[in-house]
Amino acid sequence: MKKLNINEMPEEIPVFPLSSTIFFPKTVLPLNIFEPRYKQMVEHAIKKQGLIGMIQAKQIEGENKISLFNIGCVGYIESHYQTPDGRYLINLKGVSRFKIIDEINNDCLYREFKVNYLDLKKEITSEDLKKVDVNELIDKTKKFFKLNQLSTDWKVVEKVSPDQLVNSLSMICPFTVSEKQRLLETDTLDDRNKVLNQIINFYLLGQATSDERIIH
C-alpha cells in the first residue's frame, strides 16, 4: 500500500455506507469487514492509496439502491489484518470530510463516487482550540453516559486535544442518524462543539423533566 499523500488525494473514492455510523478527521474507526463487496473494496484500496469513504446510509422507499447522505468522511487504512476465515479487520484514520459530486459507474461490487474534500485546506488554530471548554464538555458527557448506562476510559478522554475530544464524542455518543449527520456537516470546530453541547443538553434536560414528573 502506497504512503498517503494528502496533496494528491484522488477525485474518486470507494464509499462504504453504514447507518448510524459517523466518522471524523483525526479519529480512528475499527471495522470488521466480512461482506464480499466490501472485502473487495478493502483489497482494492490496499493496492492503491488505502482510502475508503464512510457515509451514513438512508433507505428511500421504492428505490432498489440505498440512498446516501451527501457528506461523509474519508479515512486511510492505517492497519489491516486478514483473519483465517477471510474477514478483514481494519483501522481507518480520518483524513477529511467529503461531499459527493456524482456516482461513478464501475464493474466492482462496491460503489465509487467523485467527491470534493472539505477539510484539507482548513487548519485548526490555537484560538479554535481555546473556544472549547473541555472541562464543561467532559462533565456533561459523563452525565450523559451515566444516563445511557455507557462507560469509557475517562483518563484517556481527558488527555486528548480539544478537537479530537469534540470529534470523538460526536462519533461515539448514541445520537440519532440526523443528529450525527448534523454534527458531521458543521464546518468549524467551534460550530461542532456548540451543536454537540446542544444535543447533549437536550437529552439531559429531557431526563431532568422526566424526573420532575415522577417526583410530582
CATH of the domain at 22: 2.30.130.40
Start-to-end CA distance of the chain, whole Å, equals: 63
Average pLDDT of span 69-86: 95
Which cell numbers in the block locate residue 42? 478493502
Average pLDDT of span 47-69: 82
Q: How many domains does the chain have?
A: 2
Q: Is the pLDDT of residue 139 over 90?
A: yes
1 is a domain residue = no
175-186 pLDDT, tens digit each: 999 999 999 999
Please provide the DSSP assignment of 131-190 as one string. TS-HHHHHHHHHHHHHHTT----HHHHTTS-HHHHHHHHHHHS---HHHHHHHHT--SHH
Q: Are residues 10 and 113 in the same domain?
A: yes
Alpha helix (H) ranges present in 18-117? 36-47
- What value does the mean pLDDT of the chain take? 90
Average pLDDT of span 58-78: 82
Average pLDDT of span 137-158: 93
The band of 212, judged by pLDDT with boundaries at 50, 70 and 90, is very low
DSSP H or E run through 116: strand 111-117
Q: Are residues 100 and 132 in the same domain?
A: no
